[in-house]
């Protein structure tokens, strides 16, 4: 599995010949550099919740014939009403897709579209493919529900928000990595806006002090697991 950081909470995940885009917010990212949203293709778009910093570029990237949008029922219905294809899920539910096994899991946050439409309840995903499991937390507070993920999956990577203010900060993300029983963490949802700027060295130190590894990627940089 190849995971490319597209900035903020946006990811491109390649599994075999399938491309999954997670929470695309590229064209509006003030830190965006040379990622051209028009060149991004997706077989699937996974959306953790409806907030604009996770959905801004969905309609630019999604091909009405070829792309399946996966999210909670309300988010998927919103896009289906605009003519896009979707696969609705809800919390605790899992489905086997042609790229792998995907479970929609709990998150503590909110979810509304920029136009005020209801975006259901926010979530995260556990993705299992090619003998690897990755937890994509989405925007969330630290929650004991994360212990269920640690009990049920043998994670290779936990992708956790670390920017604080709107989500967990670094200290809570260290605890989240205990709860999900995964010491290999990719941080996201930081530095994009003033409220979520972090000290990278401090963040890495707090993880390494607990014998954990925090990876922070440059926009466009890739991680293989
Ligand atoms: Ni959000
Ligand atoms: Mn967000």
Which ligand is closest to the CA of 196, given by its number?
Answer: 2
Distance 120 CA to ligand 1 centre (A): 12
Distance 209 CA to ligand 2 centre (A): 27
On whether residue 59 sits in a domain, the answer given is yes
What contacts 72, CB < 8 A, 6 or more positions away? 49, 88, 89, 90, 91, 104, 111, 119, 120, 121, 122, 123
The reported pLDDT for the residue numbered 109 is: 98
On whether residue 50 sits in a domain, the answer given is yes
Q: Name residue, tokens 């605890």.
A: 175
Per-residue pLDDT band for 33 (boundaries 50, 70, 90) equals: confident
User: Measuring CA to CA, which residue among 84, 56, 49 is closest to residue 68?
Assistant: 84
Distance 191 CA to ligand 2 centre (A): 12
Q: Report the chain's mean pLDDT, rounded to a whole number.
A: 97
Contact in structure between 51 and 119 (CB atoms under 8 Å): yes
* Other CB atoms within 10 A of residue 66 CB: 11
The reported pLDDT for the residue numbered 92 is: 98
Contact in structure between 48 and 122 (CB atoms under 8 Å): yes
On whether residue 117 sits in a domain, the answer given is yes
pLDDT tens-digit map of 147-205: 999 999 999 999 999 999 999 999 999 999 999 999 999 999 999 999 999 999 999 99
Q: How long a stretch of residues is the chain?
A: 225
Distance 129 CA to ligand 2 centre (A): 25
On whether residue 157 sits in a domain, the answer given is yes
**pLDDT exceeds 80 at position 32:** no
pLDDT tens-digit map of 46-92: 999 999 999 999 999 999 999 999 999 999 999 999 999 999 999 99
Which ligand is closest to the CA of 107, given by its number?
Answer: 1
> In this structure, what CATH number is given to the domain that contains residue 159?
3.60.15.10
Provide the residue range defining the domain that includes 46: 2-218
On whether residue 204 sits in a domain, the answer given is yes
Distance 35 CA to ligand 2 centre (A): 19
- Span 11-39, average pLDDT: 95
**pLDDT exceeds 80 at position 210:** yes
Cα–Cα distance measured from residue 139 to residue 82, given in angstroms and rounded to the nearest whole number: 25
On whether residue 35 sits in a domain, the answer given is yes
The reported pLDDT for the residue numbered 34 is: 86
Question: Which tokens hold the place of 93?
Answer: 């539910």
In the β-sheet with 101-106, what is the strand arrangement from edge to edge? 94-96, 101-106, 123-129, 132-136, 157-161, 184-188, 213-215
Which ligand is closest to the CA of 192, given by its number?
Answer: 2
Distance 84 CA to ligand 1 centre (A): 22
* Residue spans of alpha helices (H) in the chain: 52-55, 58-61, 73-80, 146-152, 170-179, 200-208
Q: Is 217 exposed, middle or buried (0-12, 13-18, 19+ CB in 10 A)?
A: middle
Distance 139 CA to ligand 1 centre (A): 5
Query: Which contiguous run of DSSP H or E holds residue 125?
Result: strand 123-129
Q: What is the 3-state secondary structure (H, E, C) of 42-99?
A: CCEEECCCCCHHHHCCHHHHCCCCCCEEEEEHHHHHHHHCCCCEEEEECCCCEEECCC
pLDDT tens-digit map of 124-149: 999 999 999 999 999 999 999 999 99
On whether residue 225 sits in a domain, the answer given is no
The reported pLDDT for the residue numbered 17 is: 97
On whether residue 101 sits in a domain, the answer given is yes
Q: Which residues surround ligand 1, an ion (CB under 5 A)?
A: 51, 139
| pTM more than 0.85 | yes
Q: Structural domain tally of the chain?
A: 1
DSSP 8-state assignment for residue 109: S
């Amino acid at each position: 599995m190849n995971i490319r950081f597209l900035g903020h909470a946006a990811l491109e995940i390649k599994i075999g010949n399938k491309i999954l885009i997670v929470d695309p917010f590229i064209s509006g990212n003030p830190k965006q550099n040379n990622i051209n949203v028009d060149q991004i293709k997706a077989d699937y778009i996974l959306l953790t919740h409806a907030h604009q910093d996770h959905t801004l570029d969905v309609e630019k990237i999604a091909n009405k014939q070829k792309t399946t949008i996966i999210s909670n029922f309300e988010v998927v219905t919103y896009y289906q009403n605009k003519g896009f294809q979707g696969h609705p899920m809800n919390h605790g539910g899992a489905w086997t897709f042609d790229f792998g096994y995907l479970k929609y899991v709990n998150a503590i946050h909110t979810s509304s579209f920029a136009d005020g439409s209801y975006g259901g309840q926010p979530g995260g995903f556990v993705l299992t493919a090619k003998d690897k499991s990755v937890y994509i937390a989405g925007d969330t507070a630290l929650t004991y529900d994360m212990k269920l993920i640690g009990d049920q999956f043998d994670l290779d990577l936990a992708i956790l928000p670390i920017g604080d203010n709107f989500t967990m900060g670094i200290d809570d993300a260290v605890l989240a990595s205990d709860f999900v029983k995964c010491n290999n963490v990719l941080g996201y949802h930081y530095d994009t806006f003033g409220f979520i700027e972090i000290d990278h060295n401090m963040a890495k130190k707090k993880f390494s002090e607990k014998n954990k590894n925090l990876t922070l990627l440059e926009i466009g940089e890739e991680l293989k697991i």
